[in-house]
Chain A
Amino acid sequence: MSLQLSPPKTPTETPMKTSTAPRFSRKPGKGMTHKRKSILLTIVMGFMAVYALLPLFWLFVNSTKTQPELFSSFGLWFSGDFALWDNIGQTLTYNDGEFLRWLANTVLYVVVGAGGATFLATLAGYGLAKFDFPGKRAVFAVVLGAVAIPGTALAVPTFLMFSELGLTNTPWSVIIPSLISPFGLYLVWIYAVEAVPTEVLEAARMDGAGEFRTFFTISLRMLAPGFVTVLLFTVVATWNNYFLPLIMLSESTWYPLTVGLNNWNAQATTAGGDAIYNLVITGSLLTIVPIIIAFLFLQRYWQSGLTAGSVK
């Protein structure tokens, strides 16, 4: 990152005294002596990595098994025919391909919901960081207060409200509530204070550029790492959203993957239901693959957004 190092002067000393949000840190210089690596520490951390990755490995191994093999073989190793492709085929076509429909719904919710949330948070975070306006303090207090309210406690009243507005059982009922990310607002705000120098804005104003033009042509580029970080976190939040769509949607047509998968599982555990455990497992695997790929590939961006330029 080509940003200047400067001591943080952010308005973050708010509720917690210090922020967790990005600052421009000095990373240990290259000249710092290399410390001896500890083997013991590496082994202990190895156990942590096993704890984190073992269930994912289990999921992969078991999505390669046929239903009878699932019940008869050891969970942590492959057994019988390699049935992964067959399982994927079945998952995608089961019940007229409802899995693909749920996938399309999820993508819709992510693109509009997470994209919109990131856009709104960036706009507002920038506004809070770079402008002074009447009521700024009230905005600040209200948003902070709202973060403390359990989101799920709001779900029931939101459902009742939306049902009176005729929005339940439509994609809007899932999209509209996901448009707000207070954490995203906070992150962009902290980030914008330093990432966009006020002098640059002043220069643009002198040149007669409008505020929105300045935002889209100059500021947005400077905010990019913060933007990508917020985008990634809102994508995860909407991709993984379960409670909200569970409440809002009563027909499987608009289900996202999470609710659909749980329905399959409930069906499998019900006596007399079609036991489709192999589909639940393969479907779970297919659900997490895109998001894990996104995290691995965008690693550089989101880690730099969070630690602001101190990626090792």
Chain B
Amino acid sequence: MTTTLNATVATEAPTQKRSRGRWTGWAFVGPFMFVFSLVFLAPVLYAIYLSLFQDQMVGGTKFVGGANYVQAMTDPQFWDSVRRVAVFLVVQVPIMLGVALAVALAIDSNRLRFASFFRISIFLPYAVPAVVATLMWGFIYGPRFGLVGNLNELFGWAIPDPLSNHWILVAIGNIVTWEFIGYNMLIFYAALKTIPNELYEAASIDGAGAFSVIRNIKIPSIRGAIGIASIFSVIGSFQLFNEPNILKSLAPNAISSFFTPNMYAYNLSFAGQQFNYAAAIAMIMGVLTMIVAYIVQLSGSRKDS
């Protein structure tokens, strides 16, 4: 971080000196930072403040220090929800990113017919709102007029009910995968496009095959993109809310009010009025997310060296 910033500063320094005032940049960055502090920084500080209090039956709101955090540490419902998103993360993220990478490599390979058709059609689900995607898949899964029921009836198959206790997490994983394969594919594809042609020329002189080029040139060159996509996906998994919350009306028995940490925090605040405890849960999840994102980033950069 330090080194690169210095580098930019160094290349642009002569111009800066001559241009008016050192503060001109703030005129451009200022408006963003103002709104940013209002909707990002202030809520974080406010959440920390809230999490240190408790609303009590007698005596109103009272400062309790870390009591909410201690309570969360031993709250089985909270840890149940954390475990569920952790399982989701470990299974769904690699599948989604793996498929997205394979698709991006295929489109980039020059050996595909109708490549631009594939690129746009696989990207298209990203434009579909999570609400619509979940309603759509929910109907497809559902017993009322769902496709799963249709297929079972038509072919005598026995596809298990995706909205049952056992399969609900897989069902949600499928929706999220469907929504985001295209987006991740595009990130990878954009990075693949930036690989200098000389590398490919050198490889073809060496007589490298397609898979060797993928392994030795393409994957290493887009490691940064893979890292960013992984971090976005990790953050996304920890924030899981829309899909289970919307599916809840179709599968009320399989999805509890503490299905994911976010649903738990949401239900604590809006159904239970426990705003202080919900703030503590939110802070813990923020810290957990940053730790996991950091570990993902570390493991990414270790492979680099």
Contact = CB atoms under 8 A, between A and B. Distances in A.
Interface of A: 8-9, 11-23, 25-29, 32, 34-38, 41-42, 44-45, 48-49, 51-53, 55-56, 58-59, 62, 70-71, 74-76, 120-121, 123-124, 126-128, 130-137, 139-143, 146, 148-161, 176-177, 179-180, 185, 193, 198, 201-202, 205, 211-212, 215, 236, 239-240, 242-243, 247, 257-259, 261-262, 265-266, 269-270, 277, 280-281, 284, 287-288, 291-292, 294-296, 299, 306-308, 310, 312
Contact of A38 (B20, B28, B111, B191): B111
A260 B177 CA distance: 25
Given A120-B32, A149-B290, A307-B189, A156 B279 contact: yes
Interface in B114-149: 114-118, 120-133, 135-137, 139-140, 144-147
A70 B224 contact: no
B211 interface: no
A123 B32 CA distance: 8
* Most chain A beta-carbon contacts within 10 A, residue among B1, B39, B241: B39
Contacts of B13: 132
Given A137-B5, A242-B130, A132 B12 contact: yes
Interface stretch (B59-67, B69-77, B165-173, B280-288): B280-288
Contact of B270 (A56, A126, A247): A247
A53 B270 contact: no
B15 interface: yes
Interface string B89-120: 00000000001000100110111111111101
Interface residues of B, number: 127
Contact of A19 (B16, B39, B224, B297): B224
B181 A262 contact: no
Contact of B112 (A22, A37, A239, A306): A37
Contact of A127 (B29, B103, B150): B29
Nearest to A141: B1
B289 A55 contact: no
B43 interface: yes
B154 interface: yes
Contacts of B181: 48, 52
A55 B146 CA distance: 11
Interface of B: 1, 3-5, 7-9, 11-13, 15-16, 18-20, 22-29, 31-33, 35-36, 38-44, 46-47, 50, 99, 103, 106-107, 109-118, 120-133, 135-137, 139-140, 144-147, 150, 154, 178, 181-182, 186-187, 189-191, 193-197, 200, 221-225, 227-229, 231, 235, 238-239, 241-242, 246, 249-250, 262, 265-266, 269-270, 275, 278-279, 282-283, 285-286, 289-290, 293, 297, 300-301, 304
13 contacts: A27-B197, A28-B197, A32-B197, A38-B111, A42-B114, A49-B121, A76-B150, A127-B27, A127-B29, A133-B23, A154-B40, A154-B44, A292-B124
Contacts of A212: 27
A161 B43 contact: yes
Contacts, number: 350
Contact of B301 (A17, A53, A160): A17
B195 A20 contact: no
Contact of B225 (A20, A34, A75, A126): A20
A48 B132 contact: no
Contacts of A146: 36, 40-41, 44
A294 B144 CA distance: 33
Contact of B36 (A62, A150, A180, A310): A180
A39 B112 CA distance: 8
Given A132-B13, A152-B262, A157-B44, A180 B132 contact: no
B111 A37 contact: yes
Contacts of B262: 150, 152-153
Contacts of A141: 1
A58 B154 CA distance: 17
Contacts of A137: 5
Nearest to A211: B24
